[in-house]
């Protein structure tokens, strides 16, 4: 009897964790709460007050990789593993791969071409990458590229897919999941950047989201975002700074 009751409790918990409404709401809340918790841990570790921690993160931007990993990708990854999601839900498979890569390659080429015409270089406005001795540069570069590249895109598409499940718009290209996630994702970026950058990031993710929805594959957009994200370039720059 106790064993049966225990199984029922586990089943109920699994149903809650796999519910798309719970997943979407909790992930957006954790996006904020997780970032605050990591900031508080840094605060305690360095013995600084909040203002000093913000200043520290401005001076040592690579420390933000801890915030990015915990607040952005951790919860979606955990819920995906617990619920044993089919990764094809998030475009991680061979189906539509060729189209996904082709459209994403065009996206990257056009974006870099516009940047060259407008500014004369692929990336501009980047802060100089700080110098870190080996192995600390590797310690931050590898998770940094992963966090601001594949993990950030997975977080976005994970939310698109689960929001689409709520509104039953999975098969639509311009879906409620895509629209709402782009809007909230853009607004969230205002907390850490300026309005222009938030709108610019939102526009790029809208295009990448359309590629994902059209091809049912996210691998191309994952590669594309990793190539065009200035934060990734900043982290990689620590290898030779």
DSSP 8-state secondary structure symbol assigned to residue 238: G
Q: For the segment 75-120, what is each residue's pLDDT rounded down to a tens digit?
A: 999 999 999 999 999 999 999 999 999 999 999 999 999 988 877 7
DSSP 8-state secondary structure symbol assigned to residue 90: G
pTM for the model: 0.89
Burial of 202 (0-12, 13-18, 19+ CB in 10 A): buried
Give the dihedral sign, CA 153/237/186/124.
Answer: negative
Q: For the segment 168-196, what is each residue's pLDDT rounded down to a tens digit?
A: 999 999 999 999 999 999 998 887 778 88
**Alpha-carbon span 230 to 101, nearest angstrom:** 20
Q: Is 241 helix (H, G, I), strand (E, B) or coil?
A: coil
* CA triple 179-76-84, angle to 5 deg: 115
Domain spans in the chain, listed from the N-terminal domain onward:
2-239
């Amino acid at each position: 009897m106790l064993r049966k009751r225990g199984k029922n409790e586990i089943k109920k918990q699994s149903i809650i964790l796999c519910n798309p409404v719970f997943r979407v709401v909790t992930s957006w809340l954790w996006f904020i709460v997780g970032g605050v918790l990591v900031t508080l841990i840094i605060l305690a570790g360095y013995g600084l007050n909040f203002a000093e921690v913000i200043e520290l993160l401005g001076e040592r931007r690579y420390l933000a990789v801890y915030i990015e990993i915990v607040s952005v990708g951790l919860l979606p990854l955990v819920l995906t593993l617990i619920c044993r999601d089919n990764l094809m839900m998030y475009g991680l498979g061979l189906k539509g791969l060729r189209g996904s890569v082709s459209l994403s390659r065009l996206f990257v080429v056009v974006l870099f071409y516009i940047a060259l015409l407008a500014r004369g270089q692929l990336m501009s406005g980047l802060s100089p990458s700080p110098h870190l001795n080996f192995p600390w540069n590797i310690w931050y570069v590898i998770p940094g590229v992963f966090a601001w590249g594949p993990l950030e895109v997975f977080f976005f598409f994970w939310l698109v897919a689960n929001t689409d499940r709520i509104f039953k718009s999975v098969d639509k290209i311009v879906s409620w999941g895509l629209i709402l996630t782009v809007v909230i994702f853009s607004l969230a970026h205002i907390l850490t950047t300026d309005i222009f950058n938030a709108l610019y990031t939102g526009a790029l993710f809208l295009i990448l989201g359309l590629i994902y929805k059209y091809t049912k594959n996210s691998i191309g957009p994952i590669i594309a975002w990793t190539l065009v994200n200035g934060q990734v370039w900043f982290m990689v720059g620590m290898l030779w700074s």
